[in-house]
Amino acid sequence: MKRLLVLLLCLMIAAPSLYAQSGTSVGLGEAFTTLARGSEAIFWNPANLALRDKYPRLSVSVFSMKLNFGQNSFDRNFYDTYFTTKNKVLSDADVDKLLSKIPNDGLKADMRSDISLMAIAIGNLGISLQTYSYFDVTLPKAMIEIPFKGLEQKTYDFAPSGNAEAVSNVTVAYGKTIMRDKSLTLPLGKTLKFAQIAAGMSFSYNLGLGIVKTETAHLYTTLSDDGVVGHGSIISRGVHLVRTPDPTPTDPNNYKIETADKFEIAGKGFGINLAASGKLDNGYIMSFVIKNLFDRITWDKNVLEINRVLDTGTPKFFIGTNQLEDMDEDSIITDNDQELSSFKTSRPVDYRFAIGKKAGRFLYATEIGREDEQFVYMFGAGIRLLFLDFYGGYRYKTTHNLNFGFGIGWSRLYFDLGLGTRGGATPKSNKGIIIASSLRLGL
C-alpha cells in the first residue's frame, strides 16, 4: 500500500496541459498561437517555425514550465467571510450557502503541470523533450453535506473518483513556406493579401510513465423507514499494479494490490499536430492549429482493472438508536478485479483559430477554439519598454479569467514569468492559480 501511495504521489508532481507554457503565453491569456516563434512554436504552432522574421535562427528553451492547480467550489471571498473569524459558528443560512457553492457532481480539485526539459529550433526544424502529468479527485457532495446537516431519508451517492497520469514525449516539428504573395477573395468582395503562407506539422512519440484512471464510480445508499440499502460499483484501471497474496488470511483468494517491484515504461503512443499560418501584407498573422490528432497511448505494463460491486441486498434495519445490524463485508462486496493485457487512452482533438500582430513596441492577439471539449476564447496584449515586456490577457473557459506577466531581456536571452486566475477574474473571486516561467536563448 505504501508503494501504491508513492506511485500516486509521483503522478501528482507534474499534469497534462496541451501546450508547453511560458510566462509570456500565460501573461497573454494563452492567446499565443500567432505570436509563438522559435522553440516555442514547436508546441504552439509548428507553421510559425517558417515565420522567423528577425528571430534568431537558433532558438533554445532551456526550460519552460506551467503549474496549474485549483478546485471548483470555493473562492477567496468565501474563505475570508466564513473561515477567518475565530470561533465562528455557522448558522443554518451559512451552511446552506456553503453547500450551494458545491456543484451537484461534487467538489473537484486538480493539479496540473507541463515541463519542457529542452526545446531547440534550428531554422524551420524543431525538437523538444517534455513531461506532463495531472492529478484530480472528486468528492461527492454528500460527504460534505452530511457532517453539516446530518442524515436524511433519501438516496446519497458516496462514490469518490480520481485520476492521475504522467507522460514524457519527444516532439519533432517542421514548418515550411508554401506560398508567397497570394491573394484570397472572401465573400462580399473582401480580399486578403498574404505576403507569406506557411504550413507545419509536429509528431510526438509518447512514453507513458504511469496512469490511474477511474472508469465508473457510483455508490448509492438509500435511507428510509425500512432501513439502509446500498448498491453501486467502482471500476478503475492502472499500471504498475500487481495482485500479491495476503499472507495473513488462509483464504487463497485474498490478496493485496501493490506497485510492481520493477518500474518500466508503462505505455507508448504518438500524436500529430497540424498548423497553418498566413502573414498578411499589413503585418497581421492568421493561424489555424489542430492538436492531438490521432493522439493515443497503449498501456501494457502490469495493467490491473480494479472492479468492486456493492450490494447490501435487503434493507439493513436500524437496531436501537443510530445503529445498524452487523454486515459481513464479503457478503455485500463482490471483487471482480482482473489483470489486463493492455488498455488505451486518447486525448480529445483541439483546435484554435487566431489573429495577432506585433507592431513596434506593441503586440496583441485573439483566439477562439476548443480545448478539452470545451469552448475557449482568449485575448492578450503586451508592450515593450526598454528591455522589459509587460503582458495582460483575458481567457474564457467555462469562467472568466485574467492573466498577467512580464519578461526581461532580448531575443538572445529572455526570462519571463506569468500568473493567471482560475474560476474567477479577480484574486478574491478565483478558485485556483496558474504559474508559468521560461528561459530562452537565441543565436
Instruction: Tabulate helix, strand, coil % of the chain (nearest 5).
Output: 15, 55, 30
Residue type, 64: S
> Among candidates 172, 150, 209, 144, which has minimal Cα distance to 41?
172
Max CA pair span of the chain: 87
Give the chain's domain count: 1
Would you say how long the chain is, in residues? 443
Q: What is the CATH number for 321? A: 2.40.160
> Among candidates 299, 325, 303, 367, which has minimal Cα distance to 19?
367
d(CA 150, CA 34) in angstroms, rounded, equals 54
Instruction: Report the alpha-carbon angle 195-197-203, nearest 5.
Output: 155
Domain of 253, in residue numbers? 2-442
Residue type, 404: F
Print pLDDT tens along the chain (443 aa): 455 444 444 444 333 334 568 999 999 999 999 999 999 999 999 999 999 777 788 999 999 999 999 999 998 888 888 878 777 788 888 889 889 999 998 999 999 999 998 999 999 999 999 998 899 999 999 998 988 888 888 899 888 899 999 999 999 999 999 999 999 887 877 888 999 999 999 999 999 999 999 999 999 988 888 888 889 999 999 999 998 887 665 666 678 888 888 888 999 999 999 999 999 999 999 999 999 998 999 999 999 999 999 898 877 666 555 556 666 666 788 889 999 999 999 999 999 999 999 999 999 999 999 998 999 999 999 999 999 999 999 999 988 999 999 999 998 899 999 999 998 888 788 899 999 999 999 98
Single pTM value for the model: 0.87
Instruction: Determine the pLDDT at residue 10.
Output: 46
d(CA 159, CA 20) in angstroms, rounded, equals 34
